[in-house]
């Protein structure tokens, strides 16, 4: 019983951590690249990046199958290189969670970068700092509230992902059975006690993360 209860929690935390790292790296890089630039087509690019936030998760899962499925060019390439498909694996769960978490990280990091005083960055450049030093030691600290908010929200979003994970990674006990999918199976089988235990666990974790965000914003 204890192992049955803990396994989805462990998988959810591992998947969310890996997905969060991917979302943080890509979201922060994209936000830094686009935040203070205006060019033709920027609105279209940002709209595409934000789509996973508003599309039904099952639609996101469908697109992931089309992109990474065994019949796709990317899917066949990955299978040839790693001798294994992506779909219905632990990495599929990570990719699904990262895709839905990315928009939150991008939007939060972008807000943080837009709030940075450009004159301070220019002053650091005048003092001889190269672009990497300016970014790491000036821009990131000044945008830290937005970046930290994005990290927490993207992790929380990845932790609660259900539809895209169900479509793209399936519900494989010990591999891709996260807490949301485990709750679905528990309710479907009538095991309400176990479902309540998982619901309480993920609700407490999500509450603590959101409370941290609210606390940091004050």
For the purposes of burial, counting CB atoms within 10 Å of the CB of 214, is it exposed (0-12), middle (13-18) or buried (19 or more)? exposed
pLDDT tens digits, residue range 84-102?
A: 888 999 999 999 999 999 9
Quick check: 169 and 62 in contact, CB under 8 A? no
The single-letter DSSP state of residue 135 is: I
Mean pLDDT of 182-197: 91
Residue 179 has pLDDT above 90, yes or no: yes
Distance set, CA 213 to CA 77, 147, 210 (Å)? 40, 11, 5
Where do the domains of the chain lie?
Answer: 1-177
What is the structure's pLDDT at 210?
81
Provide φ and ψ at 165, rounded to 5°: -65, -45
- Tell me the H-state helices in the chain: 2-34, 42-54, 57-68, 73-82, 90-114, 118-126, 131-134, 140-142, 144-159, 163-168, 179-188, 192-217
pLDDT tens digits, residue range 9-34?
A: 999 999 999 999 999 999 999 999 99
Lookup: tokens for 114: 């837009």
Quick check: 38 and 70 in contact, CB under 8 A? no
pLDDT tens digits, residue range 127-142?
A: 887 888 888 888 888 9
Q: Which CATH number fits domain 1-177: 3.90.105.10, 1.10.3720.10, 3.40.50.1380, 3.30.70.20?
A: 1.10.3720.10
Percentage, residues of the chain above pLDDT 90: 53
- For the whole model, what pTM was predicted? 0.90
- With the C-alpha atoms ordered 93, 95, 100, 101, is the resulting torsion angle positive or negative? positive
What is the structure's pLDDT at 206?
86
CA 75/CA 173 separation, integer angstroms: 23
What is the structure's pLDDT at 216?
65
């Amino acid at each position: 019983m204890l192992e049955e209860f803990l396994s989805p929690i462990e998988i959810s935390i591992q998947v969310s951590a890996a997905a969060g790292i991917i979302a943080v790296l890509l979201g922060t890089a994209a936000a830094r690249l686009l935040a203070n630039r205006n060019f033709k087509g920027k609105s279209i690019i940002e709209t595409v990046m934000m789509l996973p936030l508003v599309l039904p998760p099952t639609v996101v899962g469908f697109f992931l199958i089309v992109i990474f499925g065994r019949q796709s060019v990317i899917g066949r390439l990955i299978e040839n290189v790693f001798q294994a498909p992506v779909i219905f694996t632990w990495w599929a769960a990570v990719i699904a969670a990262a895709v839905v978490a990315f928009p939150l990280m991008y939007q939060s990091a972008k807000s943080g970068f837009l709030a940075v005083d450009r004159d301070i960055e220019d002053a650091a450049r005048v003092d001889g700092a190269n672009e990497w030093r300016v970014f790491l030691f000036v821009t990131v600290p000044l945008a830290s509230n937005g970046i930290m908010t994005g990290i927490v929200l993207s992790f929380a979003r990845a932790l609660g992902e259900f539809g895209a994970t169900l479509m793209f990674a399936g519900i494989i006990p010990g591999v891709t059975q996260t807490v949301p999918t485990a709750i679905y199976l528990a309710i479907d089988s009538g095991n309400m006690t176990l479902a309540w235990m998982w619901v309480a666990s993920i609700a407490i974790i999500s509450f603590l993360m959101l409370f941290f965000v609210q606390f940091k914003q004050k």
